[in-house]
Amino acid sequence: MRKIMVCVKRVVDYNVRVRVKPDGTGVVLDGVKMSVNPFDDIALEEALRIRERGEAGEVITVSIGPDEAQQQLRTTLAMGADRSILVKTAQPVGPLTAAKAILAVIKREGPEIVILGKQAIDDDNAQTGQLVAALWDRPQATFASKVEIKGTMLTVTREVDAGLETIEVDLPAVITTDLRLNEPRYVKLPDIMKAKKKPLEVTDLAALGVAESDTVKVLKYEPPKPRAKGVMVKDVAELVAALKSKGLVS
């Protein structure tokens, strides 16, 4: 029986316009809608499809974050996950600490497949999946747009700069998902009600034997600079002249 572990992150909903705090210490979260990271929704959908094909027996979702992240884990349970684990933290953690916490849960749960979104839309680091694979000393297949299970191996089609690349990796393995892997299902009201009765365990870094070890510290947040006003040109010659004046062409 295969067990699949899906890692999800609580982030500001992708439809919300993010605002930086006036003092530059972070982004405004009060009253802001929070959701499951969209790439992690794709990761969960793929795990559920694998289970529905009879190729896995259990899907577990894991999140690292504040107590409020239970709401997002309940959403994953409503989507179809069997149970969830919250690693509760008072402050956000970086990719390395997150990877160590995930590894501690892996050692306890023993999944054959660990799936994460390729990146989180809040920090865009795209590091956690690779760090988990390195610490676990298991193969990784990142930026997956197609996943097939063949016995004790995974065949994964990856999206790379040159196009598509197909690789095979032995199980257990780590997968990170790209946008084109699938389209996540919608959560229905009856499923939301059923999810309230599914198991959701709360633990913390200390209970897992994990100490914070991130070496990168965010000093300040700044909003992007406003775009400069465009310039209208009459013809190609005027366009070339404008580009030359800015030193963009010689």
Q: Which residues contact 62 (CB under 8 A, 6 or more apart)?
A: 5, 6, 7, 8, 84, 85, 86, 87, 102, 105
Q: How many CA atoms lie within 13 A of 144 on its CB side?
A: 30
Structure confidence by residue, pLDDT tens digits, 107-161: 999 999 999 999 999 888 899 999 999 999 999 999 999 999 998 999 999 988 8
Q: Pick 227 or 155 by higher pLDDT.
A: 155
Residue 1 scores a pLDDT above 70: no
Residue 26 DSSP class: S
Buried/exposed 37-65: b ≥16 CB within 10 Å, e otherwise: bbbbbbbbbbbbbbbeeeebebbbbbbbb
Concatenating the DSSP letter of every residue in 121-177 gives TTT----HHHHHHHHHT--EEEEEEEEEEETTEEEEEEEETTEEEEEEEESSEEEEE
Question: Two tokens at 218?
Answer: 């965010």
Residue 26 pLDDT grade (very low, low, confident, very high; cuts 50, 70, 90): confident
Residue 12 pairs with which residues in a beta bridge? Answer: 34
Name the pLDDT band for 213 (thresholds 50, 70, 90): confident
| Three-class secondary structure of residue 12 per DSSP | strand
**Closest to 122 measured CA to CA, from 221, 204, 5:** 221
Tokens 């909903």 belong to: 13
Pick the CATH number of 3-225 from 3.20.190.10, 3.40.50.620, 1.10.150.120, 3.40.50.460: 3.40.50.620
Residue 112: predicted pLDDT: 96
Half-sphere exposure of 2 (CA within 13 A, CB side): 23
pLDDT of 30 strictly over 90: no
User: Cα(9)–Cα(12) distance, rounded to whole angstroms?
Assistant: 10
Measured over the CA atoms of residue 42, residue 44, residue 45 and residue 51, the dihedral's sign is: positive
Full-model pTM: 0.86
- When pLDDT is cut at 50, 70 and 90, the band that residue 92 belongs to is confident
Phi-psi region of 53 (alpha: psi -120 to 50; beta: other; left: phi over 0): alpha
What confidence tier does 24 reach under pLDDT thresholds 50, 70, 90?
Answer: confident
Joined together, the tokens standing for residue 149 give 């299970």
Can you read off the two tokens belonging to residue 34?
């929070």
Q: Which two tokens stand for residue 47?
A: 């795990």
Choose among 29, 60, 36: nearest CA to 121: 36
Token readout for 75 is 């959403």
Query: How wide is the angle at C-alpha 113 spanned by C-alphas 169 and 121, nearest 5°?
Result: 100
Percent of the chain with pLDDT strictly greater than 90: 66
DSSP-assigned beta bridge partners for residue 63: 8, 86
Statement: residue 100 has pLDDT above 90: yes
